[in-house]
Amino acid sequence: MTTLTHPSSLEAAAAVAPIDGPVLFPGDDGWDGARQAWNLAVEQRPAAVVFPRSTGDVVAAVRMAEDAGATIVTQGTGHGAATHGPLDGRILVRTTNLRDLRIAGGTCRVGAGALWGEVAVAAGRYGLSGLAGSSTDVGVVGYTLGGGIGWLSRRYGLASNAVRRIEMVTADGHVRLIDDRHDPDLFWALRGGGGGLGIVTALEFDLFPVASVYAGTLAWDAIHAPVVLAAFREWTATLPEEATSIVRFLNLPPIPEVPEPLRGTRMMTLGAAVIGGAEHGARLVDPMRRIAPLAGDTFAMMPAADLRHLHGDPDGPTPGLAHHTLLAGLPDAALDALVGVAGVDTPAPLISVEVRHLGGALATPPANAGALSHISAPYVLNAVGAAGTAEQAAASSQRLTETVDAVARWSTGSYLNFAERAVDVDAALGTGTAKRLAAIRARIDPGGRFAMRSTVVPDRASR
């Protein structure tokens, strides 16, 4: 990996770099905003932050980094900032200003700074949907480079497998158009391999004919957690692939931002989206309505673009910590373990402990799949804790460890997009895939100009 030998070499390189967009250094006006990730819990201290306004600016930024001997980290939003840590001595390239978005012929082409919420609204005007995740302001590029699972995934698979073409600036300063005919190996690596092989400047991907969905949330008092989890397991075993759902322990903090009567309450919720009309959707969801007294039911037909709000993710920068694991199944012992670690009797609960139903199209590799070809695990556990202060972060971190450890017996590995802690890449992608990715990286970025989130080493000591 390249290291920045002296900050002055970077300032000298920046002084002559033909970059039109802002380049900021520590102490400059706006420095704190420039270095701040979406995840406010991550303190980033890069050597410089570049905001390219064009592909030409990206090329110049890569050449500047080469002149200065610096490593580059690229961010669209900083939702995934925890994977790169403090960024000491690195150049942070933020693609915020590369925001163009075009829809034509059932595909969408976005600049690297585009957010999923923007795609959802634009595609919705054509009666189409992209394969967005649960959050409206996650970046399309960072999400897709790591795979991408969301409300339409069981029907249409991973977002990374819907990619048609990628424009990327590589370490040699060249702008490459990459698809299944132009450097198919690199095209494979970029789809789910985690990124870090260059700076993606634009992405083109398929949209799908989903204009509206039957979707919503059922809510129960958290005392019903054992019944809800067992019913979720039985229910998901019968669901067709047009239904995608998430069950979760939701602990709403006693803060003014949470409306009464939900403020400070502990709930179990089931969120789901069903493609295929109201009658079909209601027929699928109805069995879950009957398992225990409901505290809420918001299911209705809605524009598919509104799915971006269904999960209730914060749509602005937030401090948080997360931990996850893929699960082989939900036997009784696993459900008991979850209730034990996240149920009503647990003190200082995490904000959310959720189990997402995978399977369906996610479990089958399509023809010409990318590096993350599919996910065979039927469920993924993802937990999120508050991290507004150092004390809160320490407590959440411990609770997250306990939560994932409680179901470790059923763990089948990691999913890169949810991996905030160090993961073993072999375990996340398979040894063969990890080796092929390493070989492609050695060809495309031999000097290690770009930090790669998927090269984090196994760090079981922190767990």
Ligand X SMILES: Cc1cc2nc3c(=O)[nH]c(=O)nc-3n(C[C@H](O)[C@H](O)[C@H](O)COP(=O)(O)OP(=O)(O)OC[C@H]3O[C@@H](n4cnc5c(N)ncnc54)[C@H](O)[C@@H]3O)c2cc1C
CA distance 327 to 445: 34
Angstrom distance (rounded) from CA 410 to CA 325:
9
Least distance in Å: CB of 175 to ligand X? 13
Among 117, 124, 146, 271, which residue interacts with ligand X (rule: CB under 6 A)?
Answer: 146
Minimum CB distance to ligand X smaller for 138 or for 270: 138
Q: Does 96 bind ligand X (CB under 6 A)?
A: no
Residue carrying the six token digits 């309450």: 265
CA distance 173 to 182: 17
Choice between 56 and 226, CB closer to ligand X? 56
Residue 100 near residue 110, CB atoms below 8 Å: yes
Half-sphere exposure of 179 (CA within 13 A, CB side): 10
CA distance 305 to 90: 37
Separation in Å, CA 207 to CA 46, 106, 398? 36, 5, 40
- Interface of this chain with ligand X, residues 401 to 420, rule: CB under 6 A: 417
Out of 80, 124, 192, 319, the only residue in the binding site for ligand X (CB under 6 A) is 80
Q: Which stretch binds ligand X (CB under 6 A): 7-15, 77-85, 386-394, 398-406?
A: 77-85
Closest alpha carbon to 274 in 322, 215, 212:
215
Q: Tell me the residue number closest to ligand X, measured at CB.
A: 142
Give the residue with the Cβ less far from ligand X, 148 or 281: 148
Q: Report the site for ligand X in 110-129 (rule: CB under 6 A).
A: 112
**Cα dihedral: 233, 235, 236, 242 (round 10):** -170
Class of residue 444 by CB neighbours under 10 A (exposed 0-12, middle 13-18, buried 19+): buried
The verdict on 421 binding ligand X (CB under 6 A) reads no
Site string for ligand X, 430-459 (x = CB under 6 A): -----------------------x------
Per CB under 6 A, the list member of 52, 117, 142, 413 interacting with ligand X is 142
Which of residues 171 and 337 has its CB atom nearest to ligand X in the complex? 171
Select 83 or 325, whichever has its Cβ closest to ligand X. Answer: 83
Name the residue among 374, 263, 245, 386 with its Cα closest to residue 314: 386
Site string for ligand X, 347-386 (x = CB under 6 A): ----------------------------------------
* Given 41, 61, 64, 138, the residue binding ligand X (CB under 6 A): 138
Tell the smallest beta-carbon distance from residue 240 to ligand X (Å): 21
CA distance 250 to 267: 5
Residues within the interface to ligand X (CB under 6 A): 74-81, 83-84, 95, 112, 133-135, 138-139, 141-143, 145-150, 195-196, 199-200, 313, 417, 453
